[in-house]
Amino acid sequence: MALLHSFEKSGNYLFKHRGQIPAILFIAVIPVIYFTDYSWITGFMNIVLSGLSIIICIAGFFIRAIAIGTTPKGTSGRNTQTQVAETLNNTGIYSVVRHPLYLGNYLMWIGIVMFTFNWYFVIIISLAFWLYYERIMFAEERFLERKFGEDYIAWSNKIPAFIPGFSKYSKSKIPFSVKSVLRREYSGVLAAAASFAFIDNLRYFFENGDFNPLRISSASLVIIAVITLILRTLKHHTRLLDEEGRS
């Protein structure tokens, strides 16, 4: 099989299974935290590094929210079986970077990984993320090139794949929709909150030999879980979050 077809085939396979990344990270983080030396972390440094991790994670969600909230039905979804694109997104955030959702994913998960305070782990996950998503982006771009032809090629030749280039910014043709973000992103927020709480409580257990159910991370997870349950109920049992022309 030619490398071109091999890359596309593996990219489509990884695209279908990209939702398994959180589970892999949950498993990998256990030995990382166990063997990490935290003796150099002072109280102030803990606050600074924790805050930085959370800010980076929120930045990832912010980028995802912009992409999700300004795209029409049939694009930028959580579909896992096949690539979907009824229209070519080339304005708004898609006028500065070709893969804003994957950029958002990286920032979201690297923020969580940074919360382990293990910089070797951050580097390893960054490299693994690049190898994993490079194939997915390749397969996605092959699909878009076949579907939109010269229009896609002209756009992709001007816009960077992963690192934003703001000089080409063009205002989005689609107005931002808060409903789209609330309807489609609550599960990701819950997964991130669970990840932070898991790392925080696991680190506390390895350092102290017991659990403290009153930690801020645990309380935050409970609050976000309640909000998630409310949004999920509204999505599946009411039409309050429905919107014409949106996925």
Per-residue pLDDT of the chain (247 residues; tens, 9 = 90+): 566 667 667 767 777 767 677 778 888 899 999 999 998 889 899 999 999 999 999 999 999 999 999 887 766 555 555 555 667 888 899 999 999 999 999 999 999 999 999 999 999 999 998 888 888 888 888 888 888 888 888 988 999 988 999 888 889 888 899 999 999 999 999 999 999 999 999 999 999 999 888 899 999 999 999 999 999 999 999 999 888 767 6
Following CA atoms 133, 35, 114, 119 in sequence, which dihedral angle do they give, to the nearest 10 degrees?
-80
Which among 115, 129, 96, 121 is positioned nearest to 21, based on CA atoms?
129
Distance CA 204, CA 210 (A): 7
Domain containing residue 162: 3-174
- What is the tally of structural domains in the chain? 1
Distance CA 117, CA 213 (A): 22
The CATH number of whichever domain residue 101 belongs to comes to 1.20.120
Distances (CA, A) of 34 to 24, 68, 205: 17, 37, 10
Distance CA 102, CA 94 (A): 12
Neighbours of 2 (CB within 10 A): 7
Considering the domain boundaries, does residue 181 fall inside one?
A: no
Neighbours of 243 (CB within 10 A): 14
Distance CA 44, CA 148 (A): 52
Considering the domain boundaries, does residue 95 fall inside one?
A: yes
Considering the domain boundaries, does residue 204 fall inside one?
A: no
Considering the domain boundaries, does residue 87 fall inside one?
A: yes
Considering the domain boundaries, does residue 180 fall inside one?
A: no
Considering the domain boundaries, does residue 242 fall inside one?
A: no
Q: What pLDDT, on the 0 to 100 scale, is given for residue 82?
A: 55
Q: What pLDDT, on the 0 to 100 scale, is given for residue 53?
A: 97
Concatenating the DSSP letter of every residue in 18-61 gives: GGGHHHHHHHHHHHHHHH---TT--HHHHHHHHHHHHHHHHHHH
Considering the domain boundaries, does residue 232 fall inside one?
A: no
| Contact between 89 and 141 (Cβ < 8 Å) | no
Considering the domain boundaries, does residue 34 fall inside one?
A: yes
pTM: 0.88
